[in-house]
Amino acid sequence: MKSVLVAAAFGLLISILATPLAVRAFRRRGFGQEIRDDGPESHLSKKGTPTMGGTVIVGATVAGYLLSHLFLIGQPGRGVTATGLLLLFLMVGLGTVGFLDDYLKIRHRRSLGLNKTAKLVGQLVVGLTFAVLALNFPDEAGVTPASESVSYVRDIEPLFVGSIGFVVLAYLFIAGFSNAVNLTDGLDGLAAGCSAMVFGAYVVMSFWQFTHDCATAAVDGCYQVRDPLDVTLVAAAALGACLGFLWWNTSPARIFMGDTGSLALGGLMSGIAIVTRTELLLVVLGGLFVAVTLSVVIQVAFFRATRRRVFRMAPLHHHFELAGWAENTVIVRFWLVTGMAVAFGLGLFYADWLSLTGL
């Protein structure tokens, strides 16, 4: 448990101390955010706010994870694992795609960076690499980081998709959630706050899996997962990094995470869901991200079919802004929705365990 607290603490401290340094460095280099011309008028005042703060989140997460292992030296079976490294690879890889997108926005002084094809290719390379590698590296019990079945709280055996099917679904899942967090990152602190709550839920669930791991505690309701403690350390470091960044990102934001942060956070969420066998449960935990994404899909599809709009503006948070809600009101209420979704998801996770133990 000490190592989990250390991962979260170092992620928090590094993020909260490094973010103002990044603000000054990015401001000197003119790394300012470009604002959509068709967005809410209240956002025009944010033009020039330093962006690419996601570099701090990614760096703090990686550092928090690695430093936590200093407290596990000498403990058998507690070193850096394949699962932990794969999750960090996914986060850093998608963060790099987002960094290129942010850099092009700054260089060309417009709100559009990489075109859709280039961004999808980047996500494709990183996502497929992660998916293929996650089906390898079995432990002593033959358990790999990922499985070839679709999962909810555990693998759903009838939904066995095979290695090729898993790789395809994993890519769609990773791309979907990384883009979902990216779409949600439109208001000060919104994506960082919601992400912190989801990672907090995964700290609880993965640590519960660690204490009920079939490899060490073959009891009713145990979990067939690889390296659950290491997953907890990654989730805890990401939780701390998001909270530290949120200190400076909350309204009025001193810095934005940019695509560097949003793609990295969404990718890490999906990766953790895959290795903890909770893929469909993430749809509940990240319900707000799903709703924001659906608002864009519905808006585009309905407009193409009828030339009319369902929402005043998509993504969903801009609809409520144009409806007259203050930005802080939208942010806090969306945080509340995420909190309720996370609580419900944790309830479903625990209810599954109770149903198998007969308690």
- 227 known ligand binder: no
Please write down the HEC assignment for all residues of the chain. Answer: CHHHHHHHHHHHHHHHHHHHHHHHHHHHCCCECCCCCCCCHHHHHHCCCECCCHHHHHHHHHHHHHHHHHHHCCCCCCCCCHHHHHHHHHHHHHHHHHHHHHHHHHHHCCCCCCCHHHHHHHHHHHHHHHHHHHCCCCCCCCCCCCCCEEECCCEEEEEECHHHHHHHHHHHHHHHHHHHHHHHCCCCCHHHHHHHHHHHHHHHHHHHHHHCECCCCCCCCCECCCCHHHHHHHHHHHHHHHHHHHHHHCCCCCCCCHHHHHHHHHHHHHHHHHHCCCHHHHHHHCHHHHHHHHHHHHHHHHHHHHCCCCCCCCCHHHHHHHCCCCHHHHHHHHHHHHHHHHHHHHHHHHHHHHHHHCC
Bond into 252 cis (ω within 30): yes
- 182 known ligand binder: yes
Are the C-beta atoms of residues 101 and 245 closer than 8 Å to each other? no
The binding site comprises 182, 259
The binding site for Mg(2+) comprises 182, 259
